[in-house]
Amino acid sequence: MDVAVVGDPESVGRRAAVLVLQGLGEDPALVLGVATGSSPVSTYRALAEARREGTDFSRVRVVALDEYVGLPETDPRSYHAFVWREIAQPLRIPRDNVLVPDGNAPDPEAACAAFEEALRAWGGTGIQLLGIGRNGHVGFNEPGSALDSRTRRSALSETTRADNARFFPRPEDVPAYCLTQGVGTIAEARTIVLVASGPHKAAAVAAAVEGPVTEACPASFLQRHRDATMVLDPAAAAGLAGHRVSEPTRHRRSGPA
């Protein structure tokens, strides 16, 4: 895994966007895996700027990591709404090119299988953007998620519900369940770019980069991925002992898949 430490959260976004744009240059029909949360918003803003300057995203397919269970797609806090508002609309990506797990499906297991099948039919994820939870989660794979897990219905941890309570009127309004791509599903992306900023992410980042590869820190799977980059601001990188890389131009491919 490569680690790039850049000056501030906006630079994190710009650096991650450069990696996405490189991938788009190689494949105009890129399958772009997208994360929700605050961390990747600066990346989406940088991509939207590229679109305004002429980059064509109309053939890009966008795949979300996760969705709350039981929140209508029209609810602004749903991840359907987030992906549409922050990504598909600004980048002018057609609706048919957007894939989000269906958190309102009467049969969640069938919905997860259909999601995996649709992703497979698109040829899998080319570049996956990730954030990281304070507890090391990726997507909604909470600590304890198997590193070979697939898309499934899962319960949110209390830490995650508390962190996401800022988006809801009352803490008890945060959905308790979600559908999420599994760690194993995410790991199949050919390239992964994880973005993190702020001191509240430092411990999770350090565990993911320098701790053991373990279900206790789902993001630690990145250590075994052959094309993964973390883009961090100095505060998020503050817990790292051995990584002080700041200028990787093209991330190296190292280690087993």
> Does 142 qualify as catalytic in the annotation?
yes
> Does 164 qualify as catalytic in the annotation?
no
Q: Of 67, 109, 70, 63, which is closest to residue 88 (Cα–Cα)?
A: 63
- Cβ distance to ligand GLP smaller for residue 53 or 181: 181
- Cβ distance to ligand GLP smaller for residue 101 or 139: 139
What are the residues binding ligand GLP (CB under 6 A)? 35-39, 65-66, 131-133, 139-140, 160, 164
| Dihedral sign, Cα of residue 73, residue 37, residue 224, residue 231 | positive
Active-site pick, 97, 135, 141, 164: 135
- Closest separation in Å from C-beta 41 to ligand GLP: 8
- Cβ distance to ligand GLP smaller for residue 164 or 191: 164
Active-site pick, 86, 142, 188, 227: 142
- Closest separation in Å from C-beta 200 to ligand GLP: 8
- Closest separation in Å from C-beta 197 to ligand GLP: 8
- Cβ distance to ligand GLP smaller for residue 55 or 238: 238
> Does 49 qualify as catalytic in the annotation?
no
- Token pair for 84: 């549409």
Query: Which residues have C-beta within 8 Å of that of residue 254, sequence separation ≥ 6?
Result: 226
Residues noted as catalytic: 66, 135, 137, 142
